[in-house]
């Protein structure tokens, strides 16, 4: 199908976005890469009266590093995340995750800010943001700028802490420490498909000992799940097959309320999550894939 | 109907200026307004890849970009890269290896293949499959398509096929 008619605003500054929000309220909708919004509009699942194109707002671009923090602009494309040298050096989890997102033609348009704002429970980047302790920066004309921890940002399917008149401008990620490692894996039916289950992980590894792990599952519930029980169980433990077994058991607690979706039952998802935790712990411990 | 906007862009090397309704997506604009019907329209929600176009040198979904977003852009379609001869070797290989049957997916498939081989002519079969993973073919079973792209990549990078 074709999208319903709408008016189009080509914003070149944040003030253009705020003006559109002020004038049109909820009828105005931001479009970034359009790789989630346009399909919804073409299927008439969304019909904004006014579309505000933010692709030409220069300050939403760019990746920079200052004082131990990597700042990634909202308009950074998935493709750029995958090849950017600063991202590879300071936030390699995003580099790893980027090639799992959709297909090349979609990665050329889709944006980091769009993926986080859209908050698809099966999306890779929200889970990576939580695993990386990211902070999301948003601006509105009435309240100015505020920062929201990634762990508090995702509230449900397509639902975030962003207010309707706010725009996500950038994401801050603490740069990876010398003793920290990251790992990412997902199971999908085909390359580029949304994951059946995925896992983004970060942690400090001393020898074979896990410390301060962040294990974040996605595509298991209405938002990414930080596996707190599994993380607590693994704290201070050495990597071994027994440790993996203990982690798998703890996972049952973290995932006890997970949902079946159209294609995959909760039991299958839990099984796949156990497979992933084994692989990812091995990778974090430098044991390669089991 | 919402107001039209005037958009200036370059399509296959020619400057075009048109008043366009905002809801018109780029592939419909090319097909319906410019009669460039080589790019196809399948699913209209980003899944099939039949609408693949090149915008400012990068492949994109023509159904997920609005024509009004192409202001100032350089757009290339299958007609453009055919006429320039850029993908003549790929077209020849697709023909020789039976890498198309109905041909519906072929324009998009060729642009995705060209995108990969321009960056990495030595791409292996896994990389080829990865790169065309966003382009559906309901006829060939993909094997012949991968064969054709691999053969051209080898030739271009000077290896024997
Ligand atoms: C076939 C297909 C397969 C896909 N597979 C995957 C996949 O495997 N994994 C995955 O994660 N994604 C996948 N995607 C989605 C893709 O990653 C999108 O790019 C992403 O979800 C949204 O980013 P966008 O920039 O395109 O946002 P848009 O589509 O432009 O916008 C999405 C939503 O976010 C809002 N928004 C966008 N930017 C901002 C901002 N800066 N501030 C406030 N609100 C904003 C919009 O108003 C809209 O509600 C797929 C898409 C397609 C078509
Ligand atoms: S028509 Fe655009 S991806 Fe199917
Ligand atoms: S040749 Fe028919 S869809 Fe590919």
Q: Residue A283: helix, strand or coil by DSSP?
A: helix
- Element holding B16 (H helix, E strand): strand B14-20
Residue B83 vs residues B78, B88, B91: alpha-carbon distances, Å: 8, 9, 12
Check pLDDT > 60 for residue A289.
no
Percent of chain A with pLDDT over 90: 92
The closest ligand to the CA of A129 turns out to be 1
Residue pair A187/A198 in contact (Cβ under 8 Å)? The answer is yes
Task: Give span(s): CATH 1.10.150.120, chain B.
Answer: 85-156
Distance B139 CA to ligand 3 centre (A): 4
Q: Do A55 and B69 touch (CB under 8 A)?
A: yes
Q: Which tens digit of pLDDT belongs to each residue from B59-71?
A: 999 999 999 999 9
Q: Which tens digit of pLDDT belongs to each residue from A131-176?
A: 999 999 999 999 999 999 999 999 999 999 999 999 999 999 999 9
Q: Do B134 and A190 touch (CB under 8 A)?
A: no
B110 lines ligand 3 (CB under 6 A): no
Residue pair A130/A171 in contact (Cβ under 8 Å)? The answer is no
Going along chain A from its start, the domains and CATH numbers come out as: 7-53 (3.30.43.10), 58-174 (3.30.465.10), 180-284 (3.30.390.50)
What is the per-residue pLDDT for B119?
96
CATH fold for the domain made of B5-81: Ubiquitin-like (UB roll) (3.10.20)
Buried b (16+ CB within 10 A) or exposed e, A205-222: beeebbeebbbbbbbbbe
In whole angstroms, what is the distance from residue B132 CA to residue B112 CA?
6
Q: Does A109 touch chain B (CB under 8 A)?
A: yes
The closest ligand to the CA of B100 turns out to be 3
Q: Does B60 touch chain A (CB under 8 A)?
A: yes
Q: Which residues line ligand 2 (CB under 6 A)?
A: B 41-44, 46-51, 61, 63
Q: Does B119 touch chain A (CB under 8 A)?
A: no
Q: Which tens digit of pLDDT belongs to each residue from A233-285?
A: 999 999 999 999 999 999 999 998 887 888 889 999 999 999 999 999 999 99
Q: What is the dihedral of CA B29, B33, B39, B41, to 10 degrees?
A: 60
**CATH number assigned to the domain with residue range B85-156, chosen from the 4 options 1.10.150.120, 3.40.50.300, 3.40.50.620, 3.40.50.12280:** 1.10.150.120
**Residue to mutate, A76, A115, A195, A216, ligand 1, most ligand atoms under 8 Å from C-beta:** A115
Q: What is the mean pLDDT of residues A215-219?
A: 97
Could you tell me the pTM of the whole model?
A: 0.96
Residue pair B79/B15 in contact (Cβ under 8 Å)? The answer is no
In whole angstroms, what is the distance from residue A255 CA to residue B113 CA?
41
What is the per-residue pLDDT for A66?
94
Packing angle between helix A241-254 and helix A266-284, nearest 10 degrees?
140
Nearest to B116 by CA among B79, B159, B148: B148
What is the per-residue pLDDT for A290?
46
> What are the DSSP E strand ranges found in A41-196?
50-53, 63-66, 69-73, 135-140, 144-149, 154-156, 159-160, 167-174, 180-187
Task: Give span(s): CATH 3.10.20.30, chain B.
Answer: 5-81
Q: Tell me the ipTM for this assembly.
A: 0.96
Q: What is the mean pLDDT of residues B2-25?
A: 96
Check pLDDT > 80 for residue B159.
no
């Amino acid at each position: 199908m074709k999208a319903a008619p709408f008016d189009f605003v080509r914003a070149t500054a944040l003030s253009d976005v705020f003006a559109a929000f002020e004038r049109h309220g909820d009828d105005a909708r931001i479009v970034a890469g359009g790789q989630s919004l346009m399909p919804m509009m073409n299927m008439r699942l969304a019909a904004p009266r006014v579309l505000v194109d933010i692709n030409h707002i220069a300050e939403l671009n760019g990746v920079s590093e200052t004082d131990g923090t990597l700042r990634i602009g909202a308009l950074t494309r998935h493709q750029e995340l995958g090849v950017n040298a600063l991202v590879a050096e300071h936030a390699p989890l995003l580099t790893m995750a980027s090639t799992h997102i959709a297909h090349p033609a979609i990665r050329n348009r889709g944006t980091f800010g769009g993926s986080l704002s859209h908050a698809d429970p099966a999306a890779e980047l929200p889970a990576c943001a939580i695993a990386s302790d990211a902070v999301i920066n948003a601006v509105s004309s009435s309240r100015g700028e505020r920062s929201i921890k990634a762990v508090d940002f995702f509230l449900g399917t397509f639902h975030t802490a962003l207010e309707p008149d706010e725009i996500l401008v950038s994401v801050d990620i603490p740069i990876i420490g010398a003793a920290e490692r990251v790992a990412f894996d997902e199971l999908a039916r085909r390359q580029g498909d949304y994951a059946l289950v995925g896992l983004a992980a970060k942690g400090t590894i001393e020898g074979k000992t896990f410390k301060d792990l962040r294990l974040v599952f996605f595509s298991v519930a209405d938002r990414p799940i930080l596996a707190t029980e599994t993380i607590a169980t693994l704290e201070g433990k050495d990597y071994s097959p027994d440790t993996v077994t203990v982690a798998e058991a703890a996972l049952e607690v973290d995932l006890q309320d997970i949902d079946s979706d159209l294609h995959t039952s909760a039991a299958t998802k839990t099984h796949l999550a156990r497979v992933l935790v084994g692989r990812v712990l091995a990778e974090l411990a430098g044991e390669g894939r089991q | 109907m919402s107001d039209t906007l005037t958009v200036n862009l370059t399509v296959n090397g020619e400057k075009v200026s048109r008043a366009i309704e905002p809801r018109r997506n780029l592939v419909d604009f090319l097909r319906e307004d410019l009669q460039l019907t080589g790019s196809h329209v399948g699913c209209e929600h980003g899944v099939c890849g039949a609408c693949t176009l090149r915008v400012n040198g990068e492949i994109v979904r023509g159904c997920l970009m609005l024509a009004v977003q192409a202001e100032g852009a350089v757009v290339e379609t299958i007609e453009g890269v055919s006429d320039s001869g850029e993908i003549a070797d790929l077209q020849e290989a697709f023909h020789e290896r039976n890498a198309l049957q109905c041909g519906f997916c072929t324009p998009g498939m060729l642009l995705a293949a060209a995108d990969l081989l321009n960056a990495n002519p030595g791409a292996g079969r896994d990389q080829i499959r990865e790169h065309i993973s966003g382009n559906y073919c309901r006829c060939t079973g993909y094997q012949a398509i991968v064969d054709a792209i691999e053969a051209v990549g080898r030739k271009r990078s000077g290896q024997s096929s």
